Amino acid sequence: MIQLVTNGFYTMFVVDNTDEVFKIAKTEGFEVLSEPTDTFYGQRRLLLKDPNGALVDVSSPIPNFEF
Amino acid sequence: MQYCDCTPTEVRFYRKSTDKLQECLETLNQQNLAFILDVGDLIDRDYNSFDTILQEYQQAKAQVYRTLGNHDYSVEPDQLAEVPARIGLPPAGYYDFVHENWRFIVLNGTEVSTYTHPPGSKASQQAEKLMEELEKEGKSWAKPWNAGVSNQQLRWLEQRLKKARRTNQKVIVMSHYPLYPENPHNLWNAEQVIMALEQSGNVVAYFNGHNHAGNYGHKKDIHYLNFKGMVDTPDQNTFAAVHVYADHLQVQGFGREDSRELALG
């Protein structure tokens, strides 16, 4: 059996409205890796880099999305 | 595809992958497919290679579902964590979706490996130790280019299979790495995944890449189909369309990929 060893981290903020955060990120001059996009797994996702170069995922659930 | 802007070898024609993908998508776009499954290794190396191959992929009319391959991690150590997001996957790299009462489960076979995590990290050391143990046991698939799935992912797989059973869904599972027949390319803990699939009773097929030669096996009502590698030849293409029926899967091969009829049940 393989136990997963955690390694580093992936920061994800789940927010009500990703597009609102996107507006703020542009105003604040964050590096945008991917503008808000609806993903197939039910999240509207924005990808940013923080000032240290770490990946930051800002996502909001797509309303009425069903698996 | 294993694209990169690299000098070809006798068995890898990296730059040709964009033309082959273009031809593949032109054909698949005419098939009115519900979706496209990509069995992994979009790139051979270099993070920038994703830009080129994903740009080519934009012509796909159908939703593309991807899985992570070992070569997708041939990037700089500080870029490793970004790979799932770069190709549009959720952070864990595994997920499932439903189409017309069929559940498709996509596993992340790269989860425990010597290349997914930075060299020297705990996760990388754990993977090296695991591979050494498999080598001692004489397993032919104890190779550094293979990898394994964690207990957490296995538990998740079992939960999704249970959910499918409760709703009478048939299941097709996909990952980059083969499980069966026994082969030096197989997932490190292929036996555990096979056990979960067999115990479920509703899995009809498992699709993968990784072994470029391709392969096929059938065991306990599950078809294991290893699609061939696109990068191996200078001009011959290889890809397939799978047509799903109640009693069989019709695999329509193009180029070097074989056509097959896979009976269900």
B205-245 pLDDT, tens digit per residue, is: 999 999 999 999 999 999 999 999 999 999 999 999 999 99
**pTM for the complete prediction?**
0.92
For B243, the token pair is 């047509």
pLDDT at B198: 98
Rounded CA-CA distance B111/B88 in Å is 16
For B24, the token pair is 């593949």
pLDDT at A67: 64
Are the Cβ atoms of A41 and B150 closer than 8 angstroms? no
Q: Which contacts qualify for B30-37: CB closer than 8 Å, 24 or more apart?
A: B31/B241, B33/B62, B33/B241, B34/B62, B34/B99, B34/B100, B35/B62, B35/B63, B35/B64, B35/B65, B35/B99, B36/B60, B36/B62, B36/B63, B36/B64, B36/B65, B37/B64, B37/B65, B37/B67, B37/B104, B37/B174, B37/B207
User: Which of A1, A8, A43 shows the shortest C-beta gap to B81?
Assistant: A8
pLDDT at B78: 86
Q: Which contacts qualify for A24-28: CB closer than 8 Å, 24 or more apart?
A: A25/A58
Residue B136 half-sphere exposure toward CB, CA atoms < 13 A: 6
Chain mean position to CA A64: 19
Q: Is A11 on the interface with B (CB under 8 A)?
A: no
Chain mean position to CA A57: 2
What is the residue-averaged pLDDT of chain B?
A: 96
Find chain A residues with C-beta within 8 A of B96's C-beta: 67
User: Which of A2, A39, A53 shows the shortest C-beta gap to B88?
Assistant: A39
pLDDT at A6: 62
Eight-state DSSP code of residue B227: P
B248 and B170 Cβ atoms separated by less than 8 Å: no
* pLDDT band, very low/low/confident/very high, at A7 (cuts 50, 70, 90): low
Find chain B residues with C-beta within 8 A of A7's C-beta: 117-118, 121-124
* Optimal mutation site among A1, A6, A7, A37, interface B, most CBs of chain B within 10 A: A7
Q: In what order do the strands lie in the sheet with B170-174?
A: B95-99, B102-106, B170-174, B203-208, B222-226, B215-219
- Work out whether strand B248-255 and strand B203-208 pair parallel, antiparallel, or are unpaired: unpaired
Q: Is A3 on the interface with B (CB under 8 A)?
A: yes
Helices (H), chain B: 17-29, 49-57, 83-86, 122-136, 151-166, 190-200
Q: Is B16 on the interface with A (CB under 8 A)?
A: no
